[in-house]
Amino acid sequence: MGAEEAARRVDEGAILLDVREPDEWEAGHSPDAVHVPLAALAASIDRLDKDQPIVTVCRVGGRSERAAAALLQRGYDAVNLAGGMQAWQAAGMPVVTESGEPGQVI
Active site residues: 58
- Dihedral of alpha carbons 25, 31, 36, 39, sign: negative
CA atoms in the 13 A half-sphere facing the CB of 11: 7
Q: How many CB atoms lie within 10 A of CB 83?
A: 20
CA atoms in the 13 A half-sphere facing the CB of 87: 18
